[in-house]
Chains A and B, each alone.
Chain A
Amino acid sequence: MAAKTIISRPIYGTLSPQPGKHHLFIADAEGALAIIDMAGKAPPGFFDGTEIVFIPGPEGKHIAALEALKPAQLHIAPSFASLLPRLKQTLTNAHMGLRLYLSGTEGLIGQAMQVALEAGMDHTSMQTEHRGSLARRMQCVHCKGITENVTTQPALCAHCGLLLLVRDHYSRRLAAFQGVCINAEDRSEVPPMEEAFP
C-alpha cells in the first residue's frame, strides 16, 4: 500500500462487494489477489453477473484462481493497450448501475479509471485496491511524454531525456504523476538515482 502524502495523490481502499447485478473487475498481476480475497465476502451468486478482465503480466500467475470464481466472463489481456478498445466498448454500453472494481498497480488503476471517467462514471463510485508494484506512470511536464513503470527517484524521461523529480502530484485526467526537471537550475548537479517505487 502506497503511503499517503499530498491531497492530489490517490488513496486506495480494499475491494468490497457492492450491491447490484452487474460487476466489472479490471486487474493486473497481484491485483487478482484482491479479487480473490474479496470473493470470500461476496454473497452467493455474486459472480454470476460479473466480468473479470485480467492482465497477468510476465509471470502469468493467478489465472486458474480467477477461473475458480466462475465469473460470467473472464477475459485475459496481454497488456492495457490491447485491452483499451474492448474496455471503451464495454463502458460505453454499460447499464446504469454497473459497479467497477480496479485492483493492481497504480498505472493500471489510473488508466482504467481514466477510461471510466471519460465514459461518464464518477471516480468516487469506483472501488480500488492497490496491490503489487509501486511503479508509477509519469508525465514529463516539459515534453508531455508519458513514461510507464517508473521505479526510481529521480527518473529519466523516456522521451526528452531530462532527469525528473517524480512528484506526488497526480492527475486523474492524465492518469499520471508529474515529473519536473530535478536539476534545472544547475545541470551539473546529478542526484543519485534510487529505487523508490519497487
Chain B
Amino acid sequence: MGITFRKETFRDDYTFRNSPEHIRRFPFPFNEDAYMYAVNIEPHVVGPKGSVLENLIDVDEHYVAEMQDRALVLAEDPLRCQSLPHMTLAGWDLLELLMEQQALGYPEHFTLERNGDRWRWINRPLGIDDTFTFGDTSTLPYGPMEYITRQSQGDFCILDQRDGNLWMDAGMVTTQADWSLDFDIGMNFFEWHAPVPLAHEKGIFTRALKFLTNIQQGKPARRLNWTMTINPRLDTSPENYHKWGPDRATVTPENVGDKVHLRVELQSFWRLPRSNGIVFPIRCYLIKMDELVTQPKWARRLHRVIRDLPEELATYKGLTRYRPTLVEWLSKLDDGSPTSPGFGPD
C-alpha cells in the first residue's frame, strides 16, 4: 500500500496538518527534559518500521505538497539553488543516491531502470517519466542536483572536501531555518557556522568537522536539530524574514496550539562516491503544538525544555517574543510527573 499524499499548503491559508500516524512518527528531538548543544552524531542506519528512519531517505504524506512549495520558492528566487562550477559531478552523485534510495524505499511510487549510462526514472506522485544519459547534463531539464532535489523532500547542501575542511559549494535550500545559501556559498565549515552562539567555544564544530571529514562511503551519519516556526511555513529564509518575521508577534494564549510549530531537522551526512564530496540533506519536519501535545510525555518534556532554555539559545532560535506565552500554555499540560527515557511517545 502506498502513501496517501496530502493536498495542503505551507503559505497563505496554511492547510498543512499531520495525520495521527504522522504525529506518532514525528522525530521528537529531546531525549531528556533539558537541551544543550552536543555533537549528537550517530550512524544513519535503518530504524523501526513506522518511524521516519524506516528508510534512510524518508518520503512521507507531505511529499507532493512540499515539492509544489519548493517550485514556488524557486520561481520567486532562483538563487536558492546554486552550484559552483566544480560541483557538477557531485550533483550526479546526489542524483544517483536519491533515485536509488527513493526507489528502494518506495517501489510503488518510484522506479529507476538502468541500462549502462541510459537511465529511466519514473516518479509517479509527480507524474514524471524521464529517460536520460547519466553524466550528460544536456539530457536533463535542469542540472543534476536541481533536477533530483526538485523531487526530494528536504534541503540539500553539497560540501566539497579539501584542505582538511568542508566547503559549502552547492545546494538546494528552500526550507531553511533562517540561513542564506546565497550568502554562505563558498564558505568553509567554520565560516558558515560563524553566527551560531556558544557552540564554537565548546569545541563543537572542531569535533564535528573531524567526524564529517572521516565519513566513509556507505556509512552515512545523522543528527537532529530543532527550532520553532510560527505557522507551518517551510520557507523561513532570511531573504523573506521581513515577510514572515511579523508572524512572531501574532502568538496569543488562544492561538498557541495552532500557530506555534516545533521544527525538527533530520540532518544526514553521506560520502559521495565519484566526487568525494559530502552531501548533507536537511529534512524538515513540522508539528503544531495542538498535534504534539496529543502525546502527554512530549507535552511535559517540551514545557521543561523551552522553560529552561538558556537565553542566548532562545534568542538565536528566535523564540524571545513568544516564549512566555508558549511556556504558560505548555505549563498547564505539565503535572510535574517524570518522563520516560528516550525520544518516543509513551
Give residues in A with beta carbon < 8 Å to B: 6-9, 139, 141-142, 144, 162, 167-169, 171-174, 178, 180-181, 184-187
Q: List 5 tightest A-B contacts by C-beta distance, closest first.
A: A184-B245, A8-B194, A8-B191, A7-B194, A173-B186
Distance in Å from the Cβ of B242 to the closest Cβ of chain A?
Answer: 4
Q: Is B6 an interface residue (CB 8 A)?
A: no
By a CB distance below 8 angstroms, the chain B residues around A171 are: 183-184, 186-187
By a CB distance below 8 angstroms, the chain A residues around B239 are: 141-142
CB within 8 Å for A169 and B183 given contacts A8-B191, A181-B242: yes
Complex: chain A residue closest to B238, CB-CB: A141
By a CB distance below 8 angstroms, the chain B residues around A168 are: 194-195
A186 to B183, Cβ gap below 8 A?
no
- Residues facing A in B238-268 (CB within 8 A) are 238-242, 245-246, 248-249
By a CB distance below 8 angstroms, the chain B residues around A186 are: 246, 249
CB within 8 Å for A144 and B182 given contacts A184-B241, A186-B246: yes
Give residues in B with beta carbon < 8 Å to A: 79, 180, 182-187, 190-195, 200, 238-242, 245-246, 248-249, 321
What are 17 A-to-B residue pairs whose CB atoms are below 8 Å? A7-B190, A7-B191, A7-B193, A8-B187, A8-B191, A141-B241, A142-B242, A144-B79, A168-B195, A171-B184, A171-B187, A172-B186, A173-B187, A180-B241, A185-B245, A185-B321, A186-B249
Complex: chain B residue closest to A169, CB-CB: B195
Beyond the given pairs A169-B183, A174-B183, A178-B180, 5 more chain A to chain B contacts, judged by CB atoms under 8 angstroms and listed by A's residue number, are A141-B180, A142-B240, A178-B238, A180-B241, A184-B246
Distance in Å from the Cβ of A139 to the closest Cβ of chain B?
Answer: 7
By a CB distance below 8 angstroms, the chain B residues around A184 are: 241-242, 245-246
CA distance in complex: A9, B191 (Å): 8
CA distance in complex: A181, B184 (Å): 18
A8 to B246, Cβ gap below 8 A?
no
By a CB distance below 8 angstroms, the chain A residues around B195 are: 6, 8, 167-169
A185 to B183, Cβ gap below 8 A?
no
CB within 8 Å for A178 and B183 given contacts A7-B200, A8-B191, A8-B194: yes
Distance in Å from the Cβ of B3 to the closest Cβ of chain A?
Answer: 36
CA distance in complex: A168, B191 (Å): 11
CA distance in complex: A139, B190 (Å): 20
Complex: chain B residue closest to A173, CB-CB: B186
A185 to B194, Cβ gap below 8 A?
no
Which of A6, A9, A173 sits near B185, CB closer than 8 Å? A173
By a CB distance below 8 angstroms, the chain B residues around A167 are: 195
A139 to B242, Cβ gap below 8 A?
no
CA distance in complex: A184, B249 (Å): 10
CB within 8 Å for A142 and B241 given contacts A184-B246, A186-B249: yes
CA distance in complex: A178, B194 (Å): 12
Most buried by B among A6, A173, A178, A185: A185
Which of B185, B194, B200, B249 sits near A169, CB closer than 8 Å? B194
By a CB distance below 8 angstroms, the chain A residues around B192 are: 8
Distance in Å from the Cβ of A170 to the closest Cβ of chain B?
Answer: 8
Most buried by A among B187, B239, B240, B242: B242
By a CB distance below 8 angstroms, the chain A residues around B238 are: 141-142, 178, 180
